[in-house]
Amino acid sequence: MTERRVKMLFICTGNSARSQMAEGLTRAMSDGQVECYSAGTEPKPIHPLAIRAMAEVGLDISKNVSKGLAQFLDEDFDYVISVCARAAETCPTWPRSREQIRWHFDDPAERRSEEDRLRVFRRVRNEIQQRLSLMMLAAKIPMKAEGEQGMNRVIFACVHNAGQSQMAAAFFNTMADPQKALATAAGARPYRSR
């Protein structure tokens, strides 16, 4: 008996950058274990700098097509993830999803110069990849192994490392597969009891 693949939908306003990058990254990171799609509240053509930023990490999204939300409204999803604030505000509560998640990433297309836009596209791509890694580890979604050992390491940091980062690391470690991920906590000015 084969396991059912996790099904995800990424939403942003134009389905031209952030949601397309999230879809491409998820496909690559999950090694086929996640059935993923992306859509926009107001679809526009895929931004050339999104294609370029993804090509820099070996992923080709040049053949992807922008899609509207309507074609997915009758589908069941495990996760519906909005990757921009505007889409999160205008997107309906997804009636057929196990969980709806709202992430906010800067709109890289809003910058003035192409150099600035490309820098922000790269940063947003990396932020999406980091967020997906944490989410997939916590949800125990199989991922391609990183590095030789196949162990992903996560650091939760706060100023004193006295509470929030400790709790986050402990919680993460209870949720993640210990063979694939390990979280630790750190602080810039660790609190020391006297």
Among candidate residues 91, 124, 132, 143, the one labeled active-site is: 91
Query: Burial level of 86, CB count in 10 A (0-12/13-18/19+)?
Result: middle
Output the pLDDT for position 163: 75
The Cα 176–Cα 98 span in angstroms is 19
Long-range pairs for 70-77: beta carbons < 8 A, 24 or more residues apart = 71/39, 72/9, 72/37, 72/39, 75/7, 75/9, 76/7, 77/7, 77/8, 77/9
- Assign domain 6-138 one CATH number from 3.40.50.970, 3.40.50.2300, 3.20.20.210, 3.40.50.300: 3.40.50.2300
Output the pLDDT for position 29: 92
pLDDT in tens, 45-65: 999 999 999 999 999 999 999
Question: What are the residue boundaries of the structural domains of the chain, listed by start?
Answer: 6-138, 152-187
In degrees and rounded to multiples of 5, residue 75 shows phi and psi of -100, 150
For the chain, which residues score pLDDT lower than 50?
1, 147-149
Residue appearing with tokens 């400790």: 166
CB 176 within 8 A of CB 146: no
Among candidate residues 84, 87, 154, 169, the one labeled active-site is: 84
Strands 77-82 and 97-102: parallel
> Is the pTM higher than 0.85?
no
Q: Provide the token pair at 167.
A: 């709790």
Annotation marks residue 84 as catalytic: yes
